[in-house]
Structure formats: structure tokens, C-alpha cells
Amino acid sequence: MPPEVPHYRSFATPLVKFSAPSSPEAYITLPIGRKYFRGKKTMKISARKIIPLLVFILSTISILRLLRLATTTSSAPPLPALQHTCYSLSPKCTNVSSHVPGSQTTQQKTYANSTTLMKKEFKLLSNLIRHKAPCNLLIFGLEPQYLKLSSINSGGITVLLEDNPDRISAIRAKSNSTQIYKVDYHIPAKKAYKLLKHARKSPACAPSAGRLQNSTCKLALTNLPQEVYKQKWDVVVVDGPSGHSPEAPGRMAAIYTAGIIARAGNTTDVVVHDVDRTIEKWFSWEFLCDENLVSSKGKLWNFRITGNSNSTRFCTD
């Protein structure tokens, strides 16, 4: 819809004809902006002269608006480069990340936001610990929220495994009762697909393959503290390592190891966070099994696994 045309007074004053019976003032000259009526006199305006002026005004306004829009667009700052991250179990998927200044900081912030438990997730986990306490609680990952779980598990054993030394230092300053160990993860997330194929074909990766610390399976974590191998764990939480990019350490080995630990005990609850991500979801299905899923909240899955270290398969289906 064209814009309203502001009041415009032409420099060329057209003749306006007034008709009146037998009047000497039958023809007078008046500006368009004024109206004069005498008796029953009517005004007739020449449309042939008004239309060109209106077209000229509208055209001028449209041109001015286009010029203003072009100036604003050209002066706007350029959009930041897009980050393309291929993050899948498919062998055809490769990382095509473009370099963006400050992208590493952004990824760290994203990871921090993704690993923090939501209120409903923490409620599910804390209720589970409260129901089993005092119990043996093993956690892959280190978040301030997990110190609350250690408090709930009063009288039990709580061990946290973390690969980030800065995070360990910050948490240790706040807690002296929880056992925190520095561990190293050497497998980047981008190797998830190859490791999954290896685990399916290799007999060394079966639950009945023997002691975890002596395993030759590429997914087995054999460098953990000895206490991890000695204890029978009631609850295992997998929320680490980060796994927030293809180059970062993935959680493939942590989920596999949790599955082996669970089958070496009696009945163990394995809780995996960030199951909205491909690796967490597929490795949970592979080594913890959909048949063992008992509850979920948000991005948190809770598997309940009955010990059976003699089985040659993780899942019955």
C-alpha cells in the first residue's frame, strides 16, 4: 500500500471555476489549498494537472526510501562465520569445522551448559542415591552438583573421575570428604564408529572376557584407580569426559566400562547424561541395553543392570 502523501501546495496555481447564475464573479482565481463557497457554488478541479504531481511525489518518496535502505544494509556489520560440525557414528561423517576466533571458549561454555543437570534430572538422580544410600557411587565427570550427591550418600563411598585438572582443583577446595581422581582419556569422539565396529567383532570386548584392568578391548579403561576395580558399585554415573566436539575425548570408553562394571556386581544402576547426543545414545543402547532402561528425565537415562559377568553378549536382543 503506497504511503500517505503529505499536503502539497503547487507553485503553479491552477484556475478554479465557480459557476453562479448571472454573477460578474463567475470566474475567479483561487489557490487549491483554500475553499471558498458562495451560496451554491461548486468547485471543479482538473485531475489532468493533479495526477502527474502525485505520481512525481510518490516516486520521489519511494526512491528516497530505497536509498536509505541500501545505505543501512551496506553499513551493517558482517555476519560471523558458521561452524559446521559433523558429529555422528556414520563412517562418511567427517569434521568440517571452520576456524572462528573465540570458538573454543564458546564450545567450553556450551559444554558447561550441557553437562549441568536440570532440576528434574538432578531430582531423579538424587532420589536414586537417597533410596540406595549408603551405597558405592562412582561418577565419571565432575560437577558441583555431584558434591550434593556425596552428601546424600553419607556413610557410603563416593568416587569422582575427572580429566580436567583445573576443575579438580576448584572442587577439592570446597570438599575434603569426596574422593576425586585425575584420569586421562585418549580417544577422541570422532573415532566412535570404528570403536563400535571393533567392540562388536572382538571377543575381548565381551562381558565374559575377564578382568577389566587386564582387558585388551580398545574401549576398556585400564588406567583407572585400583579402587574402581576392587569395589562393587551400586550406582555409576556417566557425565564425562566432555565429548563436546569430534576432537574432544568422547564417552565411548566410559559407557562401555560402566557396562562391564555393572555386570561384575549384583544390581547396578547406570545413569548416562546428555543422551540427546549421538554417541551417548548409541553406546548406551549397545552396552547398557534398551531392555534395562527403567526411567528417564530430560537428557538423563537410568539403566538397571543385573550382574552377569559370564554372558557373551551385553543385550539379549
Backbone angles phi, psi at 4, to 5 degrees: -65, 140
For residue 4, being part of any structural domain is answered with no
Q: How many separate domains does the chain show?
A: 2
Question: Is 219 part of a structural domain of the chain?
Answer: yes
The pLDDT value recorded for residue 177 is 64
**Residues 58 and 118 placed together within one structural domain of the fold:** no
Instruction: Give the model's pLDDT for residue 64.
Output: 80
- 171-178 long-range contacts, Cβ below 8 Å, gap at least 24? 171/142, 171/144, 171/147, 174/144, 174/147, 175/147, 175/150, 177/150, 178/147, 178/150
84 falls within a domain:
no
Domain enclosing residue 69, as ranges: 16-74
Whole-number pLDDT of residue 59:
81
Residue 248 has a pLDDT of 94
User: What pLDDT shows up at residue 69?
Assistant: 62
φ/ψ (deg, to 5) at 134? -75, 135
180, 292: one domain: yes
3 inside domain? no
pLDDT at 173: 59
- Same-domain status, 117 and 205: yes
State whether 64 and 136 are in the same domain: no
CATH of residue 257:
3.40.50.150
Q: Pick from 29, 53, 74: which residue ends a domain?
A: 74
pLDDT value of position 95 = 37
257 in a domain, yes or no? Answer: yes
Q: What pLDDT score does 74 carry?
A: 46
Tell whether 126 and 207 lie within a shared domain: yes
Count CB atoms within 10 A of the CB of residue 138. Answer: 25
Clarify whether residues 145 and 243 are in a common domain. Answer: yes
Q: What tens digit of pLDDT does each residue of 241-288 get?
A: 999 899 999 999 999 999 999 999 889 999 999 999 999 999 999 999
Q: Are residues 48 and 130 in the same domain?
A: no
* 85 within domain boundaries: no
pLDDT of residue 255: 98
With beta carbons less than 8 A apart as the criterion, state whether 251 and 238 touch.
Answer: yes
Q: Residues 145, 22: one domain? A: no
pLDDT of residue 281: 97
- Cα–Cα distance for residue pair 90/217, rounded to 1 Å: 21
Backbone angles phi, psi at 237, to 5 degrees: -110, 130
Question: Is there a single domain that holds both residue 155 and residue 47?
Answer: no
What stretches in the chain show pLDDT beneath 70? 1-47, 69-115, 173-177
Same structural domain, 22 and 133: no
For residues 177 and 237, membership in a common domain is answered with yes
Kindly state whether residues 190 and 296 are assigned to the same domain.
Answer: yes
Nearest-angstrom CA–CA distance, 77 and 88: 34
Domain-embedded: residue 82: no
